[in-house]
Amino acid sequence: MAYIVDLRSDTVTKPTEAMRHAMVNSALGDDVFGEDPTVNALESKIANMLGKQAALFVPSGTMANLIALMVHCNKRGSEALVGNCSHIFKYELGGAAHLGGILLSILENKPDGTFDLGEVEKRIRGSDIHEPITSLVAIENTQNNCGGKVLPLKWIDDLAVLCKKHSVPLHMDGARLFNAVQHSGETASRIVRDCDSVSVCFSKGLSAPVGSALVGSYHFIEQARRMRKMLGGGMRQAGVLAAAAVVALDEVVPLLALDHKRTQILAKVIEGLFLKTFQVDSEIHTNILMVRLPADSAVSADQVIQRLAQVCLDETQGDCKTPNDEGVIVKAISCNSKTIRFVLHREINDEALWLAIMKITYVFKEIDAKYQTKK
């Protein structure tokens, strides 16, 4: 039986013992009536942490972003400007268009997750009767598809000034906001200061089993609550879930630095192999590591991932095994045909990291040797 190191995503984390205890013992009520004390406590806590007036607990980050889009772009046919690498554009099934009647217009994300502010200003529309009205700009921090990059604070500030100039709201998909907090050294409230709404996920690196929060003004959250009900996100005794999120904010947020440190270690090990087939992103900000293959490589990211998920006899007879002579499987995902993504999280301790390093080193050397021989 192989030992599995799951680096596909920080969504695979399971609740801590403290979370389980809090869930079992949480005070409960009907949240649709606003009577669940644990949900109310969570919403107050996250709103205060982000320096906003109010918050809304929702089942998922996808729903949080969709609600934000539908509240800000409340006339069908409105336009939202988003990055071409953003989660809203790439991984939320076109819900903005399908459910909200919202046109997503894309801006090209740079490698650091930003986009050109001059281009934003050129793209804001609404004066011409033939064009949709630009009703929102949405950003993502950290930028998942750019390798967990933390957006520069000055860039966010400058974008906010531009949005205010044109009376266009700014939404931040802050699914991994607290990773950005850890890397930047800034408070969460400072990072989102000029954003009109923010979504925060509790079930990624924070290890809670379910849930996200949408944060903003009293008026915004009042409208968001109606949208949540319409989308089927109104939960009843939701305090059993909110209790885990409260623990996550208190106990898991301070541990994110360890995830970042271990990601840096993994990156340095791969970089130190000096293999021509595998290149690590030069800047690692948080807990996401992108490993890229050459465009002309004969091997694809999916082939590498399939090999990492296999255990060969030679591995178990060599150094690539556990102390119990088990093989090691490393799970990862691909972002495209030439990019492998590893995501570290609370459940990857030093032992799991070391086993992952052994397996990745073995497989990468094996594949690189084959590739170089073919060339």
CATH of the domain at 84: 3.40.640.10
212 three-state secondary structure: strand
Kindly report the backbone phi and psi dihedral angles of residue 272, in degrees, each rounded to the nearest multiple of 5, phi listed first.
Answer: -75, -10
- pLDDT tier, 281 (very low <50, low <70, confident <90, very high otherwise): confident
What does pTM read for this prediction? 0.94
- pLDDT tier, 86 (very low <50, low <70, confident <90, very high otherwise): very high
Report the DSSP pairing between strands 333-336 and 339-343: antiparallel
pLDDT tens digits, one per residue of 95-153: 999 999 999 999 999 999 999 999 999 999 988 899 999 999 999 999 998 999 999 99
Burial class (CB in 10 A: 0-12, 13-18, 19+), 36: buried
* Percentage of the chain lying above the pLDDT 90 cut: 90
Residue 41 sits in the same domain as residue 87 = yes
Query: In which residue are the tokens 């690539």 written?
Result: 320
Sheet strand arrangement including 54-58: 54-58, 212-216, 197-201, 170-174, 134-140, 79-83, 103-107
CA distances from 37 to 29, 42, 113, 187, 195 (A): 7, 9, 38, 26, 27
DSSP 3-state percent helix, strand, coil across the chain (nearest 5):
45, 15, 40
pLDDT tens digits, one per residue of 32-48: 999 999 999 999 999 99
Which of these, 333, 325, 328, lies nearest to 362 by C-alpha position? 328
342 three-state secondary structure: strand
Per DSSP, 217 falls in state -
Q: Which domain holds residue 329?
A: 3-9+255-374
The confidence score (pLDDT) of residue 155 equals 98
Residue 80 sits in the same domain as residue 150 = yes
**Taking all residues of the chain, what is their mean pLDDT, rounded to a whole number?**
94
The region of weakest confidence among 1-10, 94-103, 107-116, 363-372 is 363-372
Per the CB < 8 A criterion, the answer to whether 354 and 262 are in contact is no
Residue 267 sits in the same domain as residue 238 = no
- pLDDT tier, 178 (very low <50, low <70, confident <90, very high otherwise): very high
Among 252, 271, 300, the domain-final residue is 252
* Percentage of the chain lying above the pLDDT 70 cut: 96
Residue 214 sits in the same domain as residue 239 = yes
Amino acid at 250: D
pLDDT tens digits, one per residue of 63-77: 999 999 999 999 999
**Number of neighbouring beta carbons within 10 Å of residue 84:** 13
The confidence score (pLDDT) of residue 107 equals 97
Among 211, 236, 252, the domain-final residue is 252
The confidence score (pLDDT) of residue 323 equals 58
Per the CB < 8 A criterion, the answer to whether 67 and 227 are in contact is yes
Residue 195 sits in the same domain as residue 66 = yes
pLDDT tens digits, one per residue of 235-269: 999 999 999 999 999 999 999 999 999 999 999 99
The confidence score (pLDDT) of residue 324 equals 61
Residue 274 sits in the same domain as residue 194 = no
Whether the link from the prior residue into 142 is cis, omega within 30° of 0, is yes
Residue 155 sits in the same domain as residue 84 = yes
Residue 94 sits in the same domain as residue 194 = yes
The confidence score (pLDDT) of residue 297 equals 87
Residue 145 sits in the same domain as residue 219 = yes
Average pLDDT, stretch 306-330?
Answer: 77
CA distances from 279 to 129, 291, 296, 318 (A): 49, 6, 13, 26
Per the CB < 8 A criterion, the answer to whether 192 and 50 are in contact is yes
Among 252, 287, 305, the domain-final residue is 252
Residue 278 sits in the same domain as residue 137 = no
Residue 247 sits in the same domain as residue 260 = no
Average pLDDT, stretch 149-164?
Answer: 98
Residue 84 sits in the same domain as residue 181 = yes
CATH number at residue 316: 3.90.1150.10
Query: In which residue are the tokens 């700014």 written?
Result: 170
Q: Which two tokens stand for residue 285?
A: 């900000």
Query: What's the domain count of the chain?
Result: 2
The confidence score (pLDDT) of residue 79 equals 97
pLDDT tens digits, one per residue of 224-235: 999 999 999 999
Give the burial string for 189-218 (b: 16+ CB within 10 Å, else e).
ebbbbbbbbbbbbbbbbbbbbbbbbbbbee
